[in-house]
């Protein structure tokens, strides 16, 4: 920009937003070359370190019951609670789904089954009762 370029012209040349160029210019003016050196990171720094993410994965693999919940279902809300309690970090539960995916987990919807379900009766119905009904209709 010392050579007469505008922020807009520099942004077009570099393929970045005009706001980025203006921010870099301001950093350069206030901190010099150190202010605009790349620190090796892109975007916002993560709230959990790599070791904390590994610990979170171990906690999740132990299951919800061992973490004080009444059933074996994890939800993003429950995981966000665990993160807040164990690591003192808050994440929105919508982002927790992304974090879980990064840790190798995927969304699983539990099958709805009656508690009174009798597997033996179901098998008997499938192998004996239903074939009899089917034959009588033919």
Q: List the pLDDT tens digit at each of the 138 positions of the chain.
A: 667 888 889 899 899 999 999 998 998 899 888 888 877 777 778 899 999 999 999 999 999 999 999 998 999 999 999 999 999 999 998 999 999 999 999 988 877 877 788 889 889 988 988 888 888 777
| Cα–Cα distance measured from residue 115 to residue 125, given in angstroms and rounded to the nearest whole number | 18
Map out the domains of the chain as residue ranges: 7-36, 50-102
Distance (Å) of CA 30 to CA 2, 14, 23, 46, 133? 15, 22, 11, 26, 85
Q: Which two tokens stand for residue 6?
A: 């505008």
């Amino acid at each position: 920009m010392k050579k007469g370029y505008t922020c807009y012209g520099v942004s077009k040349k570099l393929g970045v937003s005009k706001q980025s160029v203006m921010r870099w210019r301001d950093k350069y003016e206030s901190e010099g070359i150190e202010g605009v050196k790349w620190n090796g990171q892109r975007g916002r720094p993560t709230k959990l370190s790599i070791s904390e993410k590994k610990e979170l994965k171990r906690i999740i693999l132990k299951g919800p019951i061992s973490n004080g919940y009444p059933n074996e279902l994890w939800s993003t809300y429950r995981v966000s609670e665990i993160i807040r309690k164990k690591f003192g970090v808050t994440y929105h539960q919508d982002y927790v789904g992304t974090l879980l995916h990064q840790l190798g987990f995927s969304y699983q919807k539990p099958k709805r089954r009656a508690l009174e379900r009798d597997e033996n009766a179901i098998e008997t119905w499938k192998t004996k009762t239903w074939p009899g009904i089917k034959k009588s209709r033919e």
